[in-house]
Structure 1
Amino acid sequence: MNLLTDPFAVSFVSRAAIAGLLVAVACACAGTWVVLRGMAFLGDAMSHGMLPGVALASLAGVSLSLGAGIAAALMALGVSTLQRNRRLGTDTTIGLLFVGMLAAGVIIVSASGSFAVDITAFLFGEVLAVQQGDLVTLAVTTAVIVAMTALGHRAFLVSALDRRIARTSGLRPEIAQLALLTMLTLAIVATFSIVGTLLVFGMLIAPPAAAVLWTSRVSLAIALAAALGAVAVVVGLLVSWHAGTAAGATITACAVAIFVLALGLRSVVPSTARTLERTA
């Protein structure tokens, strides 16, 4: 018996692995920009602010992903609109919308006697229950996110460095911000029903945060984040299989552990890190 390969011979584990690898790529593309631009709180707020949309979709008997998408889109639109008010800080804007959306979701859930969504599944997902159709949807969404990352790379980068330079270069930083929010929304909505909001946030932040510790080149950071996310998925599924733990939570824990390991190595071998940054 091969402890490393036998679990993936089981069909539902192999589907979970494919889904996890797609999630790793999608979250690396969106999450690297989230980390570089200090938008981690926004990612958390959007992933949990989907609750009212999910609740209403459940009550209406329509797709939960549709409800989640509408809620996340409203959240992104609200952030984009309120950020134009210079008297309100970004954290204040996101915090108010986050609390408001979460409160609305709890009110809808508490007022309904027939709410059919498992909150545990909402938080941690059902990665081992992924079906073929889910993989197709996730693959298409991931391809769109990768394309947006490639096409918008220059605009995202210049807008992150200096909005005035972006404007003088004709890059329209407001459009770049909206595109980035759209990409983040797609990544969160496409993956939450499969791996849960906590896993989405963990994969969105931990691998990119580990990657940017080792390189200052954005394209390399995205590739490294995807690779680290893939490692977290494979190791997490193996640990979950042999230890009998929850797959989604175990993958998330592995992603965070990889970040802690990368941070520790970065402080122990700074010369190696500097070499990587120079060659990048």
Structure 2
Amino acid sequence: MDWLFLPFEVSFVQRALVAGLLVSLICALVGTWVVLRGMAFLGDAMSHGMLPGVALASMFGANVLLGAALSAGVMAFGVTMLSRSGRLSKDTTIGLLFVAMLATGVIIVSHSQSFAVDLTGFLFGDVLAVRPDDLVGLGIALAIAAVISVLGYRSFVALAFDSRKAHTLGLRPRLAEGLLLGLVTLAIVASFHVVGTLLVFGLLIAPSAASVLWARRIPMIMLGAALVGSLSTVIGLLVSWYWGTAAGATIAASAVALFFVSAVASRLTRLLRPAPTTATAVPVPTNEKIEYSS
């Protein structure tokens, strides 16, 4: 079993492991709401919509995190304002802004002398080059995400399943929607410069989607997503070490692979589940509902 622990005896792999685990926990908290709310396309658009801010910050020697946050903020504000017009669907506004921001970012980056390197780092990051300061930043982001998730839990649950009911109960769905956008922005901005937008989006969606197939209570979905994301990090780093693959992309691929394993296992479990043995016919629900309670 020495092969299992040998890579993690190296200091930079240890830091990569800690970074991957922290990102997994952040994405488990945020990704659960993204999956339940159906915000996957928005998450993808937000992650790539940061490119103009990152590119401009790099060109002018400013803080890359600040540029990413401003760009993501512009994206979130644009989606919110255009969606309120009522004449365009949210998917349409997200798609338009996604293309506009990504195209603008590529145009800006194309004037740089290090176009390929900058774009590759933006997409895939460099998890094996994580510094101690990066780990501190991820820890702070995790704490903020946890506090917001706890304080906004009731509003997020109502918004995820029935926004009209949330309004009736006085839970201020628009404010909850804004906080959710803020959580998505926090997860992406805090993590992308360490692990890249590809890994962030992979850990944001795949583990939570895999957990939803099994768990019915939201805290259990978050716990399952954290476990799947952590396992993806370990598997990805091991495969990267022994096969010489890109660490960030391998972790993201591992997360998606675990989702498909979970989906197949869930399907087989349903097919092999014994039929009711009672004499009377018992209706079998086609879809299991997620419980609102914590």
When normalised by structure 1's length, the TM-score is 0.94
Structure 2: tracts of 5 or more residues without a match: 275-286
Residue 102 in structure 1 maps to residue 109 in structure 2:
no
Q: What does residue range 45-60 of structure 1 map to in structure 2 within 5 Å? A: 45-60=45-60
Q: Which runs of 4+ in 1 moved over 6 A?
A: none
Q: How many residues in Structure 1 have an aligned counterpart in Structure 2?
A: 278
1:198-257 CA-to-partner distances (Å, cap 9, x unmatched) read 111111110001010112211110111011000000111011111111100110110001
Which residue number corresponds to residue 11 of structure 1?
11
Preserved CA contact (<8 Å) 1:126 1:196: yes
Which residue number corresponds to residue 20 of structure 1?
20
State the secondary structure of the residue aligned to 2:159. Answer: helix
Which residue number corresponds to residue 219 of structure 1?
219
Which residue number corresponds to residue 252 of structure 2?
252
Give 1:114 deviation, angstroms.
6.6
1:58-115 CA-to-partner distances (Å, cap 9, x unmatched) read 0110111111111011111111111112111111010011011011111212244576
Preserved CA contact (<8 Å) 1:58 1:115: no
Structure 1: tracts of 5 or more residues without a match: none
Preserved CA contact (<8 Å) 1:59 1:115: no
Preserved CA contact (<8 Å) 2:55 2:105: yes
- Counterpart of 1:129 in structure 2: which amino acid? A
Preserved CA contact (<8 Å) 2:109 2:118: no
For residues 112 and 215 of structure 2, what CA distance do their matches in structure 1 show?
Answer: 49
State the secondary structure of the residue aligned to 2:43. Answer: helix
- In 2 relative to 1, CA 84–130 (structure 1 residues): closer, same or farther, beyond 3 Å? same
For residues 153 and 107 of structure 2, what CA distance do their matches in structure 1 show?
Answer: 40
For residues 5 and 127 of structure 1, what CA distance do their matches in structure 2 show?
Answer: 18
Which residue number corresponds to residue 146 of structure 1?
146
Q: Which has the larger radius of gyration?
A: 2
For residues 264 and 164 of structure 1, what CA distance do their matches in structure 2 show?
Answer: 34
Which residue number corresponds to residue 281 of structure 2?
none
- C-alpha RMSD of the superposition: 2.0
For residues 160 and 248 of structure 2, what CA distance do their matches in structure 1 show?
Answer: 32
Give 1:168 deviation, angstroms.
2.1
State the secondary structure of the residue aligned to 2:237. Answer: helix
State the secondary structure of the residue aligned to 1:205. Answer: helix
- Counterpart of 1:231 in structure 2: which amino acid? L
Stretch of structure 1 that moved more, 158-167 or 90-99: 158-167
Preserved CA contact (<8 Å) 1:55 1:117: no
Preserved CA contact (<8 Å) 1:51 1:102: yes
Give 1:188 deviation, angstroms.
0.2
For residues 78 and 29 of structure 1, what CA distance do their matches in structure 2 show?
Answer: 24
Stretch of structure 1 that moved more, 117-126 or 68-77: 117-126
State the secondary structure of the residue aligned to 2:145. Answer: helix
Q: What does residue range 193-208 of structure 1 map to in structure 2 within 5 Å? A: 193-208=193-208
1:14-65 CA-to-partner distances (Å, cap 9, x unmatched) read 0000000000000111111111111111011010111100010001101111
Which residue number corresponds to residue 126 of structure 1?
126
For residues 58 and 8 of structure 2, what CA distance do their matches in structure 1 show?
Answer: 33
Give 1:153 deviation, angstroms.
1.1
- Counterpart of 1:46 in structure 2: which amino acid? M
State the secondary structure of the residue aligned to 1:62. Answer: coil
- Counterpart of 1:136 in structure 2: which amino acid? V
When normalised by structure 2's length, the TM-score is 0.90
For residues 197 and 13 of structure 2, what CA distance do their matches in structure 1 show?
Answer: 20
